[in-house]
Structure formats: structure tokens, C-alpha cells
Amino acid sequence: MTLLLLLDDDARADHVVLQELTDEGDRVRTEKVLVAHLPEKVREREADKPRWVWDDTSRRYPPLLAAGVRVDRCHDLRLCHAILRRSIYARGSAIATGPPTPWDGPRPGAPEPVEVSLFDEDRAETLDVVDELQRQLDAMRESDEPGKLRLLLAAESTGALIAAEMNHVGVPWSVEAHDRILTGMLGPRPRSGRPAKLEALADEVREALAQPNLNLDSQQDLLRGLRAAGYDVESTSRWEIKEIDLPATEPLLAYKKLARLLSANGWTWMDTWIHDGRFRPDYVPGGVVTGRWATSGGGALQLPASIRGAVRADEGWKLVVADAAQLEPRVLAAMSGDAAMAAAGRHADLYQGVVDAGIVENRAQAKVAMLGAIYGATTGPSAVLMPRLTQGFPRAVALVEAAARAGERGDVVATWLGRTSPAPDAAWQDALAAASAEGAGADDVRAARRRGRDWGRFTRNFVVQGTAAEWALCWMASLRRRLRDREAHLVFFLHDEVMVHSPASEADGVAEAVRESALEAGHLLFGDTAVDFALNVAVVDSYDEAK
DNA sequence: AAGTTCCGCGCC
DNA sequence: AGGGCGCGGAACTT
């Protein structure tokens, strides 16, 4: 395999530098390429199946995609740097121990060189990419777990390629269907002001509260209004209003629901985000501390169920929608090697498997207990079930408990592949110190305990959520490879769920590829694991038909 | 007028 | 009441 480095030249220049290295890092050759010729050059070199090494996929790849060029593999220095800088598996490396560099900066804008030579600016800039790659290769070579790190960095980089490709191709979106949904729920699109059904509900609420001028969109007004009408509430949130059974309750809850739909995914959103029948969210790989993706703009990861009917396959095409069933519990079973929990996961519905194992009485209990273990519930129905979960799945519970204890002490924790949690900030450390200092007050001690428990819940969840994100990245990378020679393509990703837009004739084959990819992801991460990673797969015309 | 913070709620 | 997010709107700050 060869590594092809794309070196940033002077931003004002009309060319970039391509440097070809062997696997061992030996330089084969260097050439300057005019920016205008770059897509053609990349297309040519793809025949050798190189790994492209560049600073930032979100910056380099979109222009190539726009020119119709696809890249098979890359190494995203910025994303990989962020992982290596913190990873417990790269602890002694220069990247982890050195002072902050521009590679630690935020996404927009390429990293600037640390120190520019007085004599040869151009050379200094190009060298930084080479040096950074060298540092990253060193960190991996010196690692206790080079295999895991290598897999993590490859998965992260491939994720960045996929994110750019999904943005490029877009989610097929029917504005007609979207408008039908909105009109059905809210009334026809008004030229100005509130849609009819929303206005009618507002009137109903104001009448029930006997306050004709109440502004329902103002939290303060609404809270005052509710109290004036005899509602004993602390806030205007749904869960609190739901508890009170008065005439205004029902229309108010309905109003809040519809007002939310209108502001978050109404006609304005549609005009802003849907173009030429496609929704193109801006994914941010690695945007969440745990390794999950984030998005910026459009709220793609919060598409409400109520408008998913607007996601529609093109004529003659299908959507293959798949989600991993109870992914986090399954990941926990695999990480901890908990045979009993793996056995429960042999059931397509893991929660039912927990019931069948006699640990709890019903599925609802199984779910709440499991999520409580992963999120760190300390009170309520979930906490009550914890002893039974501990008895049934001792190794799984021990793993999350250990992660929680580590966080409470201020230690870091790591995912299966080595993505590592941030250390708690200075204020956290100060609180801990204040509580253990001579003459610490009861308040200090209480505050420190509370901070400790809060951080413990974060680290507890980090190891599971982060490892689930790793599984999902591997799943998607494997699927991308299987789709390489098909017309079908990935269009959407949502933590534990993927969507492929596929010609109808290929859809069954794609569904099979999705299943094979899940198997492969399990083996990539956990080797010969006893855990099944069950999927729900649906071949549908519109997103709301899935599940 | 523009930027920031908080609330409430959508998703996993 | 138990983890991770993004976003719109209101309220507040500058």
C-alpha cells in the first residue's frame, strides 16, 4: 500500500503538493498538482488503492466529490490527532505528551504550521503534514494496543469520508409529502401568522385559563398564566403539565407539540434545508466526546417521527432502513464478556431475553433496568431493579460500575478501541480538593460528592456509548465497502441506524449486505464474541414505514 | 442590532 | 431525574 499525502500549499497558490510514501514511510516521489487538475489526478491514483493522508476530510473531500471523484481510503490527521492526543493507548507518545499544537484546534480552517522557517515558508507548511503523520505513526507503533488504535483511526477516517458522501448525495425528501403532513397537522401554510389549527388550540387554552391575551410562546407569561388559573407548577415543561388534569391541559399539550413541529421542522425549515428533493445535513464526525457524530444545522439527528413520511425513495428505488436492536446492552455484553448477558442477547429482542432468563418479570422492567445500569440511575424504579441485574449479569454490571468509580475519582476511562474520556476540568478538581482539605465544611463535602457522582455517570455512560459508536462506525465502513460496486448508496446515519437509497431491484441484496456488515463489525471489534448484534431491517418506500 | 443564556423538547 | 446531543424562541446582556 502506498500513502499519498496531500500537502497544503500556500492557500493563495494554484497548486497542491502530492507526496507518495511507501508503507514504511520512505519517500517515493513528490509532485506539484494544479488545483484544477487535482480531481483527475486523484481519480488516476485511486487505481493503486492508496490511502490518502490529508489534514481534514471535511475540507478536502467535498470538492473531489463535486468533480465526481470517490476516494476509497483516507487518514484524517485532524480527527486522528484528537483521538491519539487523549487515548490511554498512546499515553507516552509525543502527540499525547507534547504541548498543544494547531492540530488541537477546531475544525474550520486548516491547521497553521507551528513555526515558520524564515527562509522557506513554503517548505515549513508542507512539512507539518509530514511531521504530524510521522508522529501519529510513531504513536501507533509504540502503542500497547496498536491493532485497536489502527482500527479506531481507520474507522474514524472512513466515517469522515462517509459523512461527506452522504452530504453530497443527500436524503431523498419529498416536499409534497412534507407539506401534506404539515397541512394535516397544522392546517394549510399561512401567508403570515400562525396556522389555523395552532391558532384554534391557542384560543382554546386561553379560554380555559380565562386569559384572552396570554402569549403561549412566552415561558414566563405562560407560567404566570398557569399559576393565576390555579395550576401549581414550577415550570411550563410537558412532564409537569401532563400531571395536572384541568380543561387547559389537553389543548396546551397539543399546542406545545404542534408549535414545536412548526418551529423545528415546519415550512421555514423545509425552505431552508430541502433543495432539489434532497436533505443534505452537515455531519460532524467525532463531534460528540464519546465519538458519536453530531450535526451542525438542520437538526438531522433529531428528525421527529412525525415527519419521517417525507423521506421517500425515488421512483423505482427503495429505502433500506436498518437499526441495531438494543445496541448498547449488546456492546456492554461483548466488552465485559458477560456470558449470561450474551445469552440473553441470543434473543432477537434482548430485553425479552432478560425476561426469559428470569431476571425481571416483564420487558418494560428489563429495559428500564438495563438503561439504568448504562446511564447510572440512582433512584426510582430502575435503581430498585439493579440488584437483580447485578446478580444476573455480574460482569456487565461490574464493568459499568468500575467506569463510574473511575470517574468519581477523577480518572479517565476508555472505550473498547481506546477513545478516552476527557479529564474533569479544573473546577471539578478544586471541588474535590476543597472537600478533602483541612476543615472542609459539610457543604464542600456534599458538593464534591455530587460532582463526583455526576462525573461518574458520565464516565459510566462513556465507555458504553463510545464503544457502541465504534461498532456503528465499523458497521457503516463495512457496508460502504459492500456497496462499492452497486448503484445503491448510504444516505443517512443516526447513531445505531443506517439508511441506504437503493434501486428497487437491488434492495434485497442491499439488505443482505447490511446484515453481513453487522456481523463483520462484531468480529472486527470483539473477535470471536458470543454476542449477536441483531438488526431490524426494512425495505420501504418511505421512512415512516420502517419499524 | 447582535451576541449570549436559558428553557423546553426533538432524537439516540 | 438518568448519559449524549442540536435547535428555536424568549429573555437578557452589551
Q: Is the pLDDT of residue A480 over 80?
A: yes
A189: left (phi over 0), alpha (psi -120 to 50) or beta: beta
The distance (Å) linking the CA of A493 with the C1' of C7 is: 19
For residue A234, give the nucleotide whose C1' atom is nearest its CA. Answer: B7
The distance (Å) linking the CA of A400 with the C1' of C1 is: 20
pLDDT computed for residue A118 by the predictor: 38
What's the average model confidence in pLDDT over A448-456? 90
Taking CA atoms, A124 is separated from A9, A29, A76, A296, in Å, by 10, 18, 20, 33
Give the bridge partners for A503, in sequence order.
Answer: A317
pLDDT computed for residue A73 by the predictor: 96
Residue type at A376 in one-letter notation: G
Q: Is the pLDDT of residue A127 over 80?
A: no
Residue A229's pLDDT band, with cuts at 50, 70 and 90, is confident
In strand C, which positions have an atom below 7 A from any protein CB?
Answer: 1-12
Specify which residue's alpha carbon is closest to the C1' of nucleotide C3.
A375
The yes/no answer on whether domain A280-326+471-545 falls in CATH 3.30.70.370 is: yes
The distance (Å) linking the CA of A220 with the C1' of C11 is: 9
The dotted CATH code for A175-270 is: 1.20.1060
Cell digits for A108? 474550520
Task: List the alpha helices (DSSP H) in A211-326.
Answer: 219-228, 238-242, 249-265, 267-273
Q: Is the pLDDT of residue A119 over 70?
A: no
What's the average model confidence in pLDDT over A54-60? 93
What's the average model confidence in pLDDT over A336-365? 95
The distance (Å) linking the CA of A111 with the C1' of B2 is: 29
Please tell me whether any atom of strand C lies within 7 Å of the Cβ of A193.
no
Q: Is the pLDDT of residue A222 over 90?
A: no
Task: List the alpha helices (DSSP H) in A7-56.
Answer: 38-45
pLDDT computed for residue A507 by the predictor: 98
Q: Is the pLDDT of residue A415 over 90?
A: yes
Q: A233 or A300, which is more confident?
A: A300
Proportion of chain A above pLDDT 70, given as a percent: 95
The distance (Å) linking the CA of A407 with the C1' of C3 is: 13
Q: Is the pLDDT of residue A394 over 80?
A: yes
pLDDT computed for residue A485 by the predictor: 93
Q: Is the pLDDT of residue A447 over 80?
A: yes
Cell digits for A32? 506539484
Strands A274-275 and A278-279: antiparallel
Please tell me whether any atom of strand C lies within 7 Å of the Cβ of A289.
yes
pLDDT computed for residue A1 by the predictor: 63
For residue A460, give the nucleotide whose C1' atom is nearest its CA. Answer: C3
Q: Is the pLDDT of residue A123 over 70?
A: no
Spell A517-526 as b/e; 16+ CB within 10 A means b.
Answer: bbebbbebbb
Please tell me whether any atom of strand C lies within 7 Å of the Cβ of A221.
yes
For residue A495, give the nucleotide whose C1' atom is nearest its CA. Answer: B12
Sequence-ordered strand ranges (E) for A66-219: 74-76, 171-172
Q: What is the pTM of this model?
A: 0.93
pLDDT computed for residue A117 by the predictor: 36
pLDDT computed for residue A9 by the predictor: 60
pLDDT computed for residue A235 by the predictor: 82
Residues A157 and A142: their CA atoms lie apart, in Å, by 21
pLDDT computed for residue A11 by the predictor: 62
Q: Is the pLDDT of residue A181 over 90?
A: yes
Please tell me whether any atom of strand C lies within 7 Å of the Cβ of A458.
yes
